[in-house]
Amino acid sequence: MSLDIDSALQLRRNQSLTSIIRHELEQMIERGELSAGERLNENALAARLGVSRGPIREACRGLEQSGLVNVVVNRGVFIRALDGREAAELYEIRAALYGLAGRLLAPIVTDEQVAILSGYVAEMDAAMAAGDLNSFYPGNLRFHEAIVEFGGNGRLAAECAAIHREMHLLRRRTLDMPGRMTTSNDEHRAILERIAARDAVGAEAALEEHVLISRSALFGPLGHYPDT
Amino acid sequence: MSLDIDSALQLRRNQSLTSIIRHELEQMIERGELSAGERLNENALAARLGVSRGPIREACRGLEQSGLVNVVVNRGVFIRALDGREAAELYEIRAALYGLAGRLLAPIVTDEQVAILSGYVAEMDAAMAAGDLNSFYPGNLRFHEAIVEFGGNGRLAAECAAIHREMHLLRRRTLDMPGRMTTSNDEHRAILERIAARDAVGAEAALEEHVLISRSALFGPLGHYPDT
DNA sequence: GGATCTTAAACTGTTGACAATCAGCAAAAG
DNA sequence: CTTTTGCTGATTGTCAACAGTTTAAGATCC
């Protein structure tokens, strides 16, 4: 019984099975338990989670709209596989959105928020010193989340989170590359510096560049992508 | 050799009731037949469309994820009402995305594409001369759609279309304001000029400004939004 | 008359069953 | 030996019924 759906049911107050299942599936995709291209068997999922197929189908429609799965009529839902072109496109969009987040945040950032962001960078420095990717990754995630949260545009934060979920499989691969951790944290420091200086244009540029460098780490310096 | 997902996607026919209903509901919202805050009655919809509640519920889950409706547990799905804050946030995101589209398009635009965009501007000029909003609006839509399409980032185009759908009720209101048509087309001409000059930075700036001016028309020059 | 409790209707959440469709396999045809 | 055809089990699409919740009207009490 790898899945604690029962405890989720106990915690459930005003949530429907559909939303619980959707959240569960999102996490399974994020944890890599469901790999790209894999098909979701509605009956098996229903049996495993102890519910009927209705809520599962509803959850899958939500996942489809948020880009995590593909639904093929009469054949089922498949964990979406990001090909090179789509991933490159997502990186471009992500760069623009994070750039916007930085531009919004820089003029209004508080000293407390700067301190929090500094804390994340320090966390990542520590993880880097220990060569520990598993510690580096959450710090990295919180750093970016905080920037969009503090920016004050809630919808932008939601949109960035959605894109992040969608790119999850790719992103880990990128950060896994040797030397990527240190480079990445240098960039984080530069971003933080521009934000702390209340430099909107500089923060925007630093964040855009940061995302595009991640893309380069995946596709090569020219932004090429595999033709698959 | 078994079919893989890609070929399955090619075989896909969007003929499930769920997708048909979702499309139908999207159009009803776009046409204003369903007004903001209104509740969707599953039984009534099922009877009217001649289907059972299952596909309708699935369609609503997709609509929820794309931001067109809110789902409240045990109370139903409601056509989403964009309050001032959310609309302002969407405008900011839209400005960034259209800016990106312009930056992508300018370096790679073909003469044929410039001609097509010119045609749309001319269409809008004609509509403007006739004072005909109903002709101006589709031209405006096609102009913006074409820019993101020609930019070559398919996902960006999809994302812009989704935001457009979500803002549909608001946008019409904006364009309805006296004098907005002419101002708007002057901006279109400026955008086109920067694109035709293959000026990425200029096109980006012109498109961003264009969207933010639309926002100002709705919220006032300082970007304030009603506190509802 | 107004507020509160009671109760029934309406509605949503969930389920199990039935129908339609698909992948795989085996036998028949060339 | 290869291709085609026709099954068969598995899986998805859809539906109708049941269960739990919300809403609203009516009754009761102050």
Q: In chain A, pLDDT over 70 holds for what percent of residues?
A: 84
**How far is the C-alpha of A186 from the C-alpha of A128, rounded, in Å?**
11
**How far is the C-alpha of B22 from the C-alpha of A65, rounded, in Å?**
11
**How far is the C-alpha of A121 from the C-alpha of A101, rounded, in Å?**
18
For residue A196 the two structure tokens come to: 């702390």
Tens-level pLDDT at each residue, chain B (228 residues): 322 223 333 333 457 899 999 999 999 988 888 888 899 999 999 999 999 999 999 999 999 999 999 999 999 999 998 888 888 999 999 999 999 999 999 999 999 999 999 999 999 989 888 877 778 888 888 999 999 999 999 999 999 999 998 987 665 555 555 566 667 788 999 999 999 999 999 999 999 999 998 888 777 655 555 544
**How far is the C-alpha of A22 from the C-alpha of A94, rounded, in Å?**
23
Q: In chain A, pLDDT over 90 holds for what percent of residues?
A: 58
State yes or no: pLDDT of A94 exceeds 50.
yes
A58 and A144 share one domain? no
Question: Which pLDDT score is estimated for A29?
Answer: 87
Q: Which residues pair with A76 in a beta bridge?
A: A72
What band does A182 get if pLDDT is binned at 50, 70 and 90? low
The answer to whether some atom of strand D lies closer than 7 Å to the beta carbon of A46 is no
What tens digit of pLDDT does each residue of A28-49 get? Answer: 988 888 888 899 999 999 999 9
- B114 in a structural domain: yes
CATH number at residue A26: 1.10.10.10
**How far is the C-alpha of A26 from the C-alpha of A34, rounded, in Å?**
9
A94 and A207 share one domain? yes
- B225 in a structural domain: no
Question: Which pLDDT score is estimated for B6?
Answer: 30
What tens digit of pLDDT does each residue of A143-154 get? Answer: 999 999 999 999
- A226 in a structural domain: no
Asked if A61 lies within 8 A of B18 by C-beta distance, the reply is yes
- A228 in a structural domain: no
Nucleotide nearest to B74 (CA to C1'): C12
Question: Which pLDDT score is estimated for B225?
Answer: 54
Question: Which pLDDT score is estimated for B83?
Answer: 83
A33 and A96 share one domain? no
Question: Which pLDDT score is estimated for A71?
Answer: 94
Q: Output the average pLDDT for chain A.
A: 85
3-state DSSP of chain B: CCCCHHHHHHHCCCCCHHHHHHHHHHHHHHCCCCCCCCEECHHHHHHHHCCCHHHHHHHHHHHHHCCCEEEECCCEEEECCCCHHHHHHHHHHHHHHHHHHHHHHHHHCCHHHHHHHHHHHHHHHHHHHCCCHHHHHHHHHHHHHHHHHHCCCHHHHHHHHHHHHHCHHHHHHHHHCCCHHHHHHHHHHHHHHHHHCCCHHHHHHHHHHHHHHHHHHHHCCCCCCCCC
- Residue B94 and residue A36 in contact, taking contact as beta carbons nearer than 8 Å: no
B19 and B97 share one domain? no
- A224 in a structural domain: no
CATH number at residue B125: 1.20.120.530
Question: Which pLDDT score is estimated for B3?
Answer: 27
* Protein-covered nucleotides on strand D (Cβ within 7 A): 11-17, 20-23
Domain stop point among A79, A109, A138? A79
- Pick the closest to residue A103 from A187, A186, A198, A8 (CA basis): A198
State yes or no: pLDDT of A172 exceeds 60.
no
Q: Which residues pair with B69 in a beta bridge?
A: B79
- B91 in a structural domain: yes
Q: Which of B4, B5, B65 sits opposite A62 (nearest CB)?
A: B65
Nucleotide nearest to B53 (CA to C1'): D15
A123 and A206 share one domain? yes
A212 and A118 share one domain? yes
The answer to whether some atom of strand C lies closer than 7 Å to the beta carbon of B51 is no
A63 and A141 share one domain? no
Q: What is the CA radius of gyration of chain B?
A: 20
B65 and B99 share one domain? no
Beta pairing, strands B39-40 & B76-79: antiparallel
User: Range of B16's domain?
Assistant: 5-79
Question: Which pLDDT score is estimated for A187?
Answer: 92
Domain count, chain B: 2
- Residue A112 and residue A196 in contact, taking contact as beta carbons nearer than 8 Å: no
Question: Which pLDDT score is estimated for B9?
Answer: 33
A32 and A54 share one domain? yes
- Mark residues 73-132 of chain B whose C-beta is closer than 7 A to nucleic acid strand C: 73-77
Q: Which residues pair with A78 in a beta bridge?
A: A39, A70
What tens digit of pLDDT does each residue of B157-199 get? Answer: 999 999 998 987 665 555 555 566 667 788 999 999 999 999 9
Q: C-alpha A90: how far from its chain's center?
A: 11
Q: How far is A112 from chain B (nearest CA, A)?
A: 24
A129 and A166 share one domain? yes
Asked if B156 lies within 8 A of A93 by C-beta distance, the reply is yes
Domain stop point among A52, A79, A106? A79
Could you tell me the CA-to-CA distances from A202 to A118, A149, A212 in Å, in that order? 18, 19, 15
What band does A7 get if pLDDT is binned at 50, 70 and 90? very low
Tell me which chain B residues have a C-beta less than 8 angstroms from the C-beta of A37: 4-5
Could you tell me the CA-to-CA distances from A1 to A6, A16, A154, B106, B120 in Å, in that order? 10, 22, 37, 55, 60
- Residue A166 and residue A66 in contact, taking contact as beta carbons nearer than 8 Å: yes
For residue B155 the two structure tokens come to: 């996902």
> How many other CB atoms are there within 10 angstroms of residue A137's CB atom?
17
Q: How far is the CA of B59 from the C1' of C9 (A)?
A: 27
State yes or no: pLDDT of A226 exceeds 50.
yes
B110 and B213 share one domain? yes
Tell me which chain A residues have a C-beta less than 8 angstroms from the C-beta of B107: none
A200-206: long-range contacts, CB 8 A cutoff, minimum separation 24: A200/A102, A200/A103, A200/A104, A200/A106, A200/A107, A201/A103, A202/A106, A203/A102, A203/A103, A203/A105, A203/A106, A204/A99, A204/A100, A204/A102, A204/A103, A204/A106, A205/A99, A206/A102
A125 burial class (0-12, 13-18, 19+ CB within 10 angstroms)? Answer: middle
For residue B83 the two structure tokens come to: 């309050």
Domain stop point among B79, B112, B145? B79
